[in-house]
């Protein structure tokens, strides 16, 4: 009996996709970019907001896997997910999803009412995506990208600071970049079986997605550069040297494209980044440079 419970808990944890939790680091963006990284009060509030969105994303993953379990069984990789494979009972997944979402929203309202409502919007948006909007071409990727933007905004509400409009635009564009890359890899990997896994994939073709990826790449680079050199950001940060971080962003995007087009990466952004040492090193160097310029000028 104890072994069976442990088995279920283990598969429940796996179904929440811990390797995907890295996406929730967008919640901490406002903490870092506002200059409050080493302020214990600000950091603790941002940390609680991060926990809330980890729980929310876990609930959404469970919900999506429940809805997509039949299609996932047609996918060469996703068929091994706990719900699709039958290792995690659906009633357990439903109860866990409701519990995670309830705790997350309660925690959001405890921190700041605006954060609580942002969490509610995140849930509603994902419900709309799961039951309808995932079948609307282009909009399906935009909805996923908006989820990253909501994370960044929620982090700002948690510590009551404002973030640059250029940063908001950059967040949206890089999220679109990752989303379109993921769609491209799904289309390429599944080929003629793409529609059986996700009906919307029949609306996409690699040439279209390549164009969308190019637009998102250029937009991300330009918006980040404008953020780093924005007079408003320079005034608030107290330093004109954030432009020194731009080369790391350029390399990161180009390296990611290299992994997509020569190594068949990008199907899972988190796995692609975490499994590539140059990407991890570049990210660490960007973070060290950014923090050094902003905090130790």
CA of 31: how far to CAs of 15, 141, 203, 269, in Å? 29, 27, 39, 23
Contact yes or no for 91/81 (Cβ under 8 A) = no
Question: How confident is the model at residue 211, as a pLDDT?
Answer: 94
Rounded Cα distance between 25 and 27, Å, is 5
Q: Taking the domains of the chain in order of start, what are their residue ranges?
A: 1-160, 164-297
Please name the fold of domain 1-160.
Tetracycline Repressor; domain 2 (1.10.357)
Question: How confident is the model at residue 105, as a pLDDT?
Answer: 95
Extract long-range pairs of 133-142: CB within 8 Å, 24+ residues apart.
134/198, 134/200, 135/199, 135/200, 136/200, 137/200, 137/203, 137/204, 140/200, 141/176, 141/179, 141/180, 141/183, 142/176, 142/179
Q: Token pair of 17, please?
A: 């996709």
Question: How confident is the model at residue 76, as a pLDDT?
Answer: 66
**Structure letter (DSSP) for residue 238:** T
Question: How confident is the model at residue 91, as a pLDDT?
Answer: 86
**Structure letter (DSSP) for residue 81:** S
Look up the pTM and report it. 0.84
Q: Which of 152, 145, 169, 157 is nearest to 230 (CA)?
A: 169
**One pLDDT digit (tens) per residue for the chain, 297 residues:** 555 677 778 888 888 888 888 889 899 988 988 888 889 999 999 999 999 999 999 999 888 888 777 776 766 677 777 777 767 888 888 899 999 999 999 999 999 999 999 999 999 998 888 888 888 889 989 998 999 999 999 999 999 988 888 888 999 999 999 999 988 888 887 766 655 666 777 888 889 999 999 999 999 999 999 999 999 888 888 889 999 999 999 999 999 999 988 887 777 787 888 889 999 999 999 999 999 998 886
Residue 19: helix, strand or coil by DSSP?
Answer: helix
24: CB partners within 8 A, 6+ apart: 50, 53, 54, 57, 151
CA 144 to chain centre: 8
Encode 43-79 in three state secondary structure.
Answer: HHHHHHHHHHHHHHHHHHHHHHHHHCHHHHCCCCCHH
Question: How confident is the model at residue 2, as a pLDDT?
Answer: 57
Question: How confident is the model at residue 71, as a pLDDT?
Answer: 73
Question: How many separate helices (H) and strands (E) can be counted in the chain?
Answer: 15, 0
């Amino acid at each position: 009996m104890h072994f069976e419970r442990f088995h279920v808990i283990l598969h429940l944890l796996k179904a929440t996709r811990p390797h995907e939790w890295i996406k929730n680091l967008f919640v901490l963006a406002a903490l870092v970019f506002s200059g409050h990284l080493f302020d214990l009060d600000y950091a603790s509030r941002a940390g609680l907001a991060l926990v809330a969105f980890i729980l929310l994303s876990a609930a959404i993953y469970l919900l999506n896997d429940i809805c997509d379990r039949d299609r996932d069984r047609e996918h060469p990789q996703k068929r091994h997910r706990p719900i699709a494979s039958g290792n995690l009972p659906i009633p357990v997944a439903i109860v866990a999803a409701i519990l995670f979402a309830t705790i997350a929203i309660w925690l959001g309202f405890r921190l700041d009412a605006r954060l609580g409502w942002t969490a509610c919007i995140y849930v509603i948006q994902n419900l709309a995506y799961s039951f309808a909007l995932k079948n609307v071409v282009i909009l399906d990727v935009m909805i996923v990208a908006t989820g990253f933007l909501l994370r960044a905004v929620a982090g700002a509400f948690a510590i009551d600071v404002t973030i640059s409009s250029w940063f908001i635009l950059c967040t949206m564009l890089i999220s679109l970049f990752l989303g379109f890359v993921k769609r491209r890899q799904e289309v390429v990997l599944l080929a003629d079986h793409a529609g059986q896994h996700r009906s919307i994939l029949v609306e996409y073709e690699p040439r279209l997605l390549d164009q969308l990826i190019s637009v998102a790449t250029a937009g991300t680079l330009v918006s980040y550069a404008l953020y780093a050199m924005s007079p408003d950001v320079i005034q608030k940060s107290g330093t004109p040297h954030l432009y020194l971080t731009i080369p790391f962003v350029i390399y990161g995007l180009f390296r990611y494209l290299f992994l997509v087009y020569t190594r068949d990466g990008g199907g899972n952004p988190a796995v692609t980044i975490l499994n590539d040492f140059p990407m991890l090193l570049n990210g660490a160097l960007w973070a060290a440079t950014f923090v050094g310029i902003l905090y130790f000028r």
